[in-house]
Chains A and B, each alone.
Chain A
Amino acid sequence: MSVNKARYDSYRSELDAVIKNIEHVIVGKKQISELSLVALLAGGHVLLEDVPGVGKTMMVRAIAKSLGLQFNRIQFTPDLLPSDITGVSIFNQKEMNFEFRPGPLMGNVILADEINRTSPKTQSALLESMEEKSVTIDGHTHILPNPFFVMATQNPIEYEGTYPLPEAQLDRFLLKLNMGYPTPDEEMSILSLMIHDHPIDTLKPVVTNVQLQEMKQKVTEVYVDDTVKKYIIDLVTRTRNHRSIYLGASPRGSLALMKASQALAFIMDRDFVVPDDVKYLAPYVLTHRILLKPEARFEGESAESVVMDLLNRVPVPIQKGQHAR
């Protein structure tokens, strides 16, 4: 145990540094930065649903900079074509052949801004690349760089002229997060912080890519006890027969919940998952994977409230051999 602990300690300092870096730029959003790291370490992607101007871009840039990763931003518009993001082959007249010009997708950390503004064709190109970690153009498969982390944003207010993401595609995001407005105190310190230069310009990488890869490897080694797995499965299966839910979460949901829990446990300096990890992450992992019945929506229920309701009901296993029923 002591050996394990020492190893985690070494990562602990780096993880702390990353979070500190992000906090340097984004005031008071430690939870969101942590959750973003969870998604990154678990190899997943994040859907940020929020109004403009709360610092989504800044946070993604801060993560990218702290990890020394290449950051690309794609502003989705209705006329954006798939090739505009993946890249395109251009005929080189000098060399008389087609030459691949990589698009903005060919980066480590991608901010896909207002993803619901673009056509489903372009959306699916993005989501496919997220899942496959590669793009195929003109019969050539181009492997995307590693790590590949997409943070897509959606504006929950404006729906005119948007193409809402279908259920199947929402499923591809590991977590769905909400930034929310800062508190007045936090906003005060934001103003003081930004009065001269933007701090993002001074941010230095604190983790190397190699270390990041190591960490990702370690995350997969975090132990998940059978009782915890049962708890996850119990939660997810309950979404499938809840009275307010029209469509429950898929097995991909269980998998996502487990992977995210592993990453969270790792960040929390543990080599095993506890039910608290699961309970904490469940709203972020499950809400975008379930569809409410219309009548439930009319009654004022939301995906969040239903998931919270489930969490308040599913018994937590606290004993070996005891399985949640």
Chain B
Amino acid sequence: MPIVQAYKVERSYSLYSLVLYILGFMLLWEWLRPLNQISSTEDTHVFVVFTAFLFLVTYFQWPWWISFPVKFVALMYALHSLYYPDLFLSFQWVPHLLGDIQANIAMIWSRNWTDLSSVTRSLLFLILLWLVSYLMNYWLMQTKRIFLFLFMTVFYITVLDTFTPYDAKVAIVRTVFIGLILVGILRIMKIVEKEGFSLMKGRFPVMWMVPLTVVIALSSTLGLLAPKASPQWPDPVPFLSALSSSGEDVPGDGNSFGRIGYDTNDSRLGGPFKFNYEEVFTAKVKERHYWRVETKDTYTGKGWETSERDEPLFLDRENVEYNALGSNLIEPGGAEMEKQKASIKMTKRYPFIVSPGVITSLRARDDVNFLMHPQTGKINTFSQNRTTELKSYQMDYELPQYDEKKLRESGGDYPRYVSGLYLQLPTKLPKRVKQLASRVTSKLDNPYDKAKAVENYFALNNFGYDTVNVRAPKKNEDYVDQFLFKAQKGYCDNFSSAMVVMLRSVGIPARWVKGFTYGEYQETNKDYKTYKITNANAHSWPEVYFSGVGWVPFEPTRGFSNPSTFEEEIQSAAAPAAPAAPKDKKKNEIKPEQKEKSADKAAKKSDSGLNIAGFVTLIIVLAAVLSVALFRKKWLRQYYIWKFRREKGEGTFAEAYHRLLYLAQLYGLKRDPAFTLREYAAYVDRSLDTKDMKMLTSAYESLQYGRRDSRDYWNDTNRKLWENLIKSLRG
């Protein structure tokens, strides 16, 4: 490649820059390493390889019109290898990608972070890596300062070590070692640059590198081997959680603080609460999902109650009746079912089972009987006719994979037991609730789109998530009406109740589900991941009935992401061209992994309500702002040259001169206010080794202090002087 050679000639000490790039890459790698642990991402190697490639291309220092397309293609290839099974060169995946991006841009504009697809998230993350690689190049090659980044890396690793399961013992040693070598090399390069001597072949690097490496290796070893004092502070994590849960446990009387947790009485909802992080149970699963406990059917205007009409059924633990569970959770053939296994260990003792979906068999102590309430789906545990609490149990179950097309086609003919129970509304329900629901759904023709519209209504209208500044409804107020029209903020109970009531008011059967979100990731063992579910994970959400499919969960609560079963629908919706069934199936199979792949370090946070895409976007915006701030001098320089090339007229020369002064100050040539222009010009000329500033200044002087017609002054001579000066300014 002749171009490569041409640029190689210009570059001095390229061996050094190669070493720098490699070390810089290794430092950035430390940011990517924990991803698969803290976010259960399996394909971090794609990001690592992509980053390495970026550094390689940057090292060659090709002009931007070569390097940019090359990097862009690499980005596309990385994205492709993550998500699209077909051939890269077939380009069949391109329309899918474009459609996906288009749909997601709309979501970004509507700030609908939670619904962003994983492709877009990965794309944003790859772009972020690209920006960071630019930044690294700037730090390594331009400013030759890396300490800030090193510090940030150490900070990042230690924070992860403290607050996540990531073990940073080796990483921290690696980081410090790499970082110190990097700082040492950059230092020598700075000295070389400042003193203006060129590196002698071979000799200088050895002279510098050997002691540097020896000193760093020695000190690192010493640091590793030296005895260490025990921590002066207690581990902050339990300390913090103890602090946050130390509040008084006041029974909910309306406006006083309650505690979130699993509570069987929901007849009066509302009022503020404090999070309580006491552990309830841990679950070992392949894939995280929400945990159902029971559903409620009757909305009273104040809360939820159950109309216990049918007798509870004993369950055969080996073969739990498919259709008996949870009032036909899934109609036969309503969705594709994925077989799963789970193992639950209870910390708190509850006399009921948490259920992931459709349970097929349960394994527990032999003396235990399972009793299910058909309406609520709640499974109680009995032993010798008395309720008992299980310490642990295992189950086989099936996770439904809903097909969006089927959902859309589902019509309005509901079985009687559904329409009888799940369209109930209190007679006192204010009319405006129904009016609002009709308005939101009026333009849509099928129940599924209507349900989606109501689900998105809260996000689109900026309803807020708030657990503290919420007021319990007054005596004559309806719980849902107060939330929809007065408070417009609240927590899961508000959102889920409102969605159920709104859907019911437009004739779509829905019910209110209580349970837990997927909890906090702990560790991975073989294929199984362990999650810790605390009282703070107690949650409620709506389920909507679609004839022919069954009950489908939705997630209207702001800041919560949909249960995983639902993201796939969005995927297939975004790629309508997705053809034949077998391929579709394959798609569905890889989807759950994709979701994890896209996860960056923030992904884990999503269960505590922070949304990932928002976080990623925030980082990108921050990176953009940072790069603008870092490169502002360069940009300003170009901008001024461009601007004043085309400007003429009276004030131009004076303005251009003052811009030059401003820019020179930015570049560190400070002008003492008591300096006259000549004194300053002499200083600038000395620093830049020119005489241009003196000449330009004397022209400006006669304009400023003499009586001259300013129009003649912005002539070619002066403009050339000015441009030369601007160009010779160096950081």
Inter-chain CA distance A275–B697, complex, in Å, is 13
CB distance from A252 to the nearest CB of B (A): 24
Q: Nearest CB to that of A312 among chain B residues?
A: B674
Inter-chain CA distance A239–B569, complex, in Å, is 82
- Is residue B203 contacting chain A, with contact meaning CB distance below 8 A? no
- Is residue A276 contacting chain B, with contact meaning CB distance below 8 A? yes
Q: Nearest CB to that of A314 among chain B residues?
A: B674
- Is residue B675 contacting chain A, with contact meaning CB distance below 8 A? yes
Contact of B677 among A271, A312, A316 (CB under 8 A): A316
Most B CB contacts (10 A, CB to CB) among A311, A312, A318 go to A318
Q: Which of A35-43, A178-186, A221-229 contacts B (4 or more CB under 8 A)?
A: A221-229
Contacts of A312 in B (CB 8 A): 672, 674
Inter-chain CA distance A272–B705, complex, in Å, is 7
Q: Nearest CB to that of B701 among chain A residues?
A: A274
Contact of A272 among B673, B676, B702 (CB under 8 A): B702
- Is residue B187 contacting chain A, with contact meaning CB distance below 8 A? no
Q: Is the CB of B704 within 8 A of A318?
A: yes
- Is residue B678 contacting chain A, with contact meaning CB distance below 8 A? yes
Q: Is the CB of B676 within 8 A of A275?
A: yes
Contacts of A227 in B (CB 8 A): 704-705
Interface of A is mostly: loop
- Is residue B707 contacting chain A, with contact meaning CB distance below 8 A? yes
Contact flags B658-679 to A (C-beta < 8 A → 1, else 0): 1001000000000011111111
Q: A319-B654, A319-B658, A320-B654 are in contact. Are A272 and B707 (CB under 8 A)?
A: yes
- Is residue A24 contacting chain B, with contact meaning CB distance below 8 A? no
- Is residue B415 contacting chain A, with contact meaning CB distance below 8 A? no
Count: A-B pairs, CB below 8 Å = 54
Task: Count chain A residues whose beta carbon lies closer than 8 angstroms to a beta carbon of B.
Answer: 22
Contact of B705 among A1, A228, A311 (CB under 8 A): A228
Q: Nearest CB to that of A313 among chain B residues?
A: B674
- Is residue B339 contacting chain A, with contact meaning CB distance below 8 A? no
Q: Is the CB of B706 within 8 A of A318?
A: no
- Is residue A294 contacting chain B, with contact meaning CB distance below 8 A? no
Most A CB contacts (10 A, CB to CB) among B654, B674, B702, B707 go to B674
Q: Nearest CB to that of B712 among chain A residues?
A: A1
CB distance from B103 to the nearest CB of A (A): 53
Query: In residues 698-731 of chain B, which contact A (Cβ within 8 Å)?
Result: 701-702, 704-708
Inter-chain CA distance A130–B365, complex, in Å, is 123
- Is residue A78 contacting chain B, with contact meaning CB distance below 8 A? no
Contacts of B676 in A (CB 8 A): 274-276, 279, 316, 318
Q: Is the CB of B674 within 8 A of A225?
A: no
Inter-chain CA distance A146–B679, complex, in Å, is 38
CB distance from B677 to the nearest CB of A (A): 6
Q: A225-B706, A228-B705, A275-B705 are in contact. Are A318 and B677 (CB under 8 A)?
A: yes
Q: Nearest CB to that of B704 among chain A residues?
A: A320
- Is residue A315 contacting chain B, with contact meaning CB distance below 8 A? yes
Contacts of B672 in A (CB 8 A): 312
Contact flags A270-298 to B (C-beta < 8 A → 1, else 0): 11111110010000000000000000000
CB distance from B124 to the nearest CB of A (A): 46
Contacts of A313 in B (CB 8 A): 674
CB distance from A257 to the nearest CB of B (A): 15
Contacts of B675 in A (CB 8 A): 316
Q: Is the CB of B704 within 8 A of A316?
A: no
Inter-chain CA distance A320–B703, complex, in Å, is 10
Q: Nearest CB to that of B661 among chain A residues?
A: A318
Q: A225-B706, A227-B704, A272-B702 are in contact. Are A316 and B674 (CB under 8 A)?
A: yes
Contact of A1 among B658, B661, B708 (CB under 8 A): B708
Q: Is the CB of B705 within 8 A of A316?
A: no
Q: Nearest CB to that of A279 among chain B residues?
A: B676
Contacts of B679 in A (CB 8 A): 276
Contacts of A314 in B (CB 8 A): 674
Contacts of B661 in A (CB 8 A): 318
Inter-chain CA distance A312–B704, complex, in Å, is 21
CB distance from A71 to the nearest CB of B (A): 36
Query: In residues 210-246 of chain A, which contact B (Cβ within 8 Å)?
Result: 223, 225, 227-228
CB distance from B313 to the nearest CB of A (A): 90
CB distance from B656 to the nearest CB of A (A): 13
Contacts of A319 in B (CB 8 A): 654, 658, 704
Q: Nearest CB to that of B709 among chain A residues?
A: A1
Q: Is the CB of A225 within 8 A of B673?
A: no
Q: Is the CB of A276 within 8 A of B706?
A: no
Q: Is the CB of A311 within 8 A of B674?
A: yes
Query: In residues 214-265 of chain B, which contact A (Cβ within 8 Å)?
Result: none
Q: Is the CB of A223 within 8 A of B706?
A: yes
CB distance from B71 to the nearest CB of A (A): 45
CB distance from A222 to the nearest CB of B (A): 10
Q: Nearest CB to that of B700 among chain A residues?
A: A318
Most A CB contacts (10 A, CB to CB) among B658, B661, B678, B704 go to B704
Q: Is the CB of B701 within 8 A of A316?
A: no
CB distance from A265 to the nearest CB of B (A): 9
Contacts of B702 in A (CB 8 A): 1, 270, 272
Contacts of B678 in A (CB 8 A): 274, 276
Q: Is the CB of B704 within 8 A of A225?
A: yes
Q: Nearest CB to that of B673 among chain A residues?
A: A315
Q: A227-B704, A271-B706 are in contact. Are A316 and B654 (CB under 8 A)?
A: no
CB distance from B675 to the nearest CB of A (A): 6
A315-B674, A318-B704 known, 18 other contacts, Cβ within 8 Å: A223-B705, A225-B705, A225-B707, A227-B704, A274-B701, A275-B676, A276-B677, A279-B676, A312-B672, A312-B674, A314-B674, A315-B673, A316-B673, A316-B677, A318-B676, A319-B658, A319-B704, A320-B654
Listed by A's residue number, 11 A-B pairs whose Cβ atoms lie within 8 Å are A223-B707, A227-B704, A228-B705, A272-B702, A273-B705, A274-B678, A276-B678, A276-B679, A312-B672, A314-B674, A316-B677
Taking Cβ atoms with an 8 Å cutoff, the residues of B that contact A are: 654, 658, 661, 672-679, 701-702, 704-708
Taking Cβ atoms with an 8 Å cutoff, the residues of A that contact B are: 1, 223, 225, 227-228, 270-276, 279, 311-316, 318-320
> Which 7 residue pairs are nearest across A and B when measured between Cβ atoms?
A272-B706, A315-B673, A275-B676, A225-B705, A276-B676, A316-B676, A276-B678
